[in-house]
């Protein structure tokens, strides 16, 4: 059971280039998330998708777009990369079971992105 | 704005010592989750606490949720090098699918 799979694991881009980070989960979870993790800033939510067909902005959405391709896949796109977007990006998924509320999030191993 | 403050930020101890890390807020949370993150990997859930005053044990790790559901602590007994990692707490607020994350406590257990 793979859980949450992110590709690529590492990437170096030049300022202005575009790229898409891929994420897929095999746990049949409804909700998926994209975070970035920076030293001293912790995990910050970029976008999330509560269910297939919906996406919402998180704390730091500027410069990013997302696509919930189907229930399994949730991609993050940088249209014009900037050095400030150098970070480690994590995808996560969870199964929301109402009314208990928040459910544990399952994370991938991250994409380490450097923008020169 | 809901915030979760974790302390200490860094902790370096010798194998066999005991330690406690804290996660505090002025806001009430419906649940509190603890994760451990090792270098090069994503966070992995350790435990979820949902009831004020709840205590959960996971081998040498003891988790407590405050009576008012505003704070939590993680106590490790007889720490081992395998406990090294970043410990993150995350709070949930009702049916909101988003979590509020602390900045983490970086723990190093030296042999």
Kindly tell me if the per-residue pLDDT of B7 is higher than 70: yes
Identify whether the C-beta of residue A91 lies closer than 8 Å to the C-beta of residue A98.
no
Which among B65, B97, B99, B103 is the top mutation candidate for probing chain A, defined by the most A β-carbons within 10 Å of its own β-carbon? B97
Q: How far apart are CA B89 and CA B36, in angstroms?
A: 9
Q: How far apart are CA A61 and CA A7, in angstroms?
A: 20
pLDDT of residue B77: 97
Kindly tell me if the per-residue pLDDT of A98 is higher than 60: no
What is the overall mean pLDDT for chain A? 92
Instruction: Give the burial string for A36-51 (b: 16+ CB within 10 Å, else e).
Output: bbeeeebbebbbbbbe
A38 → chain B, closest CA residue = B103
Q: What is the pLDDT of residues A3-55, one digit of tens each?
A: 999 999 999 999 999 999 999 999 999 999 999 999 988 999 999 998 888 99
A99 → chain B, closest CA residue = B95
B66-82 average pLDDT score = 96
pLDDT of residue A104: 86
Residue A26: DSSP 8-state: S
Q: How far apart are CA A28 and CA B76, in angstroms?
A: 34
pLDDT of residue A102: 67
A97-107 average pLDDT score = 71
B54-64 average pLDDT score = 96
Supply A89's token pair.
């990006």
């Amino acid at each position: 059971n793979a859980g949450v799979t992110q590709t690529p694991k590492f990437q170096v881009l030049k300022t202005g280039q575009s790229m898409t980070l891929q994420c897929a989960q095999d746990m049949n979870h409804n909700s998926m998330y994209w975070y970035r993790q920076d030293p001293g800033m912790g995990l910050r939510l970029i976008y999330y998708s509560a269910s297939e067909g919906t996406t919402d902005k998180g704390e730091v959405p500027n410069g990013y777009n997302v696509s919930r391709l189907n229930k399994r896949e949730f991609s993050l796109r940088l249209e014009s990369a900037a050095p400030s977007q150098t970070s480690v990006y994590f995808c996560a998924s969870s199964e929301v079971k109402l009314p208990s509320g928040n459910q544990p999030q399952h994370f991938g191993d991250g994409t380490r992105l450097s923008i020169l | 704005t809901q915030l979760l403050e974790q302390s200490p930020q860094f902790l370096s101890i010798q194998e066999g010592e005991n330690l406690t890390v804290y996660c505090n807020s002025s806001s009430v949370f419906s649940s509190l989750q603890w994760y451990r993150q090792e270098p090069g990997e994503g966070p992995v859930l350790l435990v979820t606490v949902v009831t004020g005053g709840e205590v959960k044990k996971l081998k040498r790790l003891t988790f407590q949720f405050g009576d008012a559901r505003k704070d939590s602590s993680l106590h490790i007994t007889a720490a081992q090098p395998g406990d090294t990692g970043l410990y993150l707490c995350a709070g949930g607020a009702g049916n909101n699918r988003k979590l509020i994350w602390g900045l983490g406590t970086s723990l190093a257990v030296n042999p």
